[in-house]
Amino acid sequence: MITPVRYIAVVCLAASLTGCSAVHRSTENPGATVAISEVGKMPDGAAVHEYTLTNAGGLEAKVLTYGATLTTVKVPDRNGKLDSITLYLDSFEDYLKGHPLFGSVVGRFANRIAGAQFSIDGAVHKVTPNAGSNHIHGGRAGFQSLLWDAEPLREKHAAGVVLRHSSGDGHEGYPGRLDVTVSYKLTNDNELVIEYTAKTDKPTVVNLTNHAYWNLAGAGSGDVLSHILTLNADRYLPSDSQKIPTGELRTVEGTVMDFTRPETVGARIRQVEDENYDHCYVLNKKKGKRPSFAARVVEPKSGRVMEVFTSQPGVQLYTAKHLSDRLKTGRFAYGPYHGLCLETQHYPDAPNKPGFPSTLLRPGQTFKQTTIHRFSVQQ
C-alpha cells in the first residue's frame, strides 16, 4: 500500500534551465527530493518539464514529460564516482529533433505487429505501417513523441514522478481510448521502479516498455561488448527477416543466444545475424504477477552492477550496432554498440500469435506491469 507523505515545495530563485524550478522535499524522507524545471516548449507552445529524482543515497534519475523519457540515471562506481549509465542528449530540443528512443516509454504497442493489423472479436484493426509493411513501437506518433502530464510522486521511501496520458480512440489505428499511467520511483534501496497501468473503454491491445540504452561504464565511454550479461531465459523467439517472430519458442542451449550463464556481450556477437542482438527472450517465469529476476549486467572496470526484475514475460535484448556519431552531446559522440537495451515487454506480434501471452485489454480490466532496476557495486 502506498503511504502518502507531505512534501515541501521550495521555489528556486534561479532555474538552471528554461523557466522556473521547484524542489519537493519529503518531511518524512528529507534525503529524497524531486526537482522540477521547465526545459522547453513543444511546437504548439506547451511547456515541457524535467523531473530530477534523488534518493537518500545521492543516486539520481531524470525524466522528461516529453515521451515520459528517462534521460539519465546516475549511480556510483566502486570509487564512488557518479556517472550517467543511460545514453542521453544534452537538451529537450535535441530529443525533439529525433532520436532512437533513448529512454522513452514506447506504446501503445512496443515492438512489432505483423502486417500492421490484428483482429479482436472478428473485427480487423489496421494500425500505422512504419516498419515496411509492419507496425513498430506504437506508430509514427507513439507515446514516445507525445507530451505527458506529470506530478511528483509522494512515497515514504522513494522520490518519484507519475506521468499520465490519455490516448484517443483510433490513435495510430488502435481501438478505444486508453488511459495510461507510468510512474518512476527511485528508492532508498537504490532501485529504479517503473510501474505501468492502463485502462480502456473498448477492447484493444497494449504492450508498454521503456527503451533505455544502458552503459554501466558511463554514457560516452565506448562500447558495451565487455559488459557481462546474464539472462534468466532458456528460450528465445526466432524471427524472420523483418523481425517478426515465427511463433516458435526455441531453446538457447548450445547457441550464440545463450546467456543463462554470465557471458560478455561481445563474446559471440560476430556470429549473430547482422552482428547485432535484437531478439526477444522468453523469461523463466513462475506463476503469479510479481516481478521476478530477468537479467544481471556487470561492468568489470567500474564495478557497477544492474539487476532487472519484471512482471513481464519477455525481454528484448538490443545491442545497438547501428548507433552513429550523428547522435552526440557537447562532450562525446555515440557509436556502434555504445548501449545495451533490456526492454521488458510482452512478445512481439502477440496480437497475431494466439500461443503467445495475451496483450488484449478489455473494459473493466487493468493492464499493470512493473520493472525494477537494482543498482549495486562489486569490488
Residue positions annotated with a catalytic role: 211, 343
Rounded to the nearest angstrom, the gap between the alpha carbon of residue 230 and the centroid of all alpha carbons in its chain is 19
CB-based contacts of 28, cutoff 8 Å, min separation 6:
5, 6, 156
- Terminal Cα distance for the chain, rounded: 35
* Angle in degrees, CA 86, 138, 46, rounded to 5: 75
Residue with cell 507496425: 135
Query: Long-range contact list for 174-178, CB < 8 A, 24+ apart?
Result: 174/108, 174/109, 174/125, 174/127, 174/204, 174/205, 175/120, 175/125, 175/202, 175/203, 175/204, 176/200, 176/201, 176/202, 176/203, 176/204, 176/363, 177/201, 177/202, 178/108, 178/204, 178/206, 178/361
Between CA 170 and CA 121 the distance in angstroms is 17
Q: Which H or E element spans position 374? A: strand 367-377
- Using the CB atoms, write b or e for 328-359: b if 16+ within 10 Å: eeeeeebbbbbbbbbbbbbbbbbbbbeebeeb
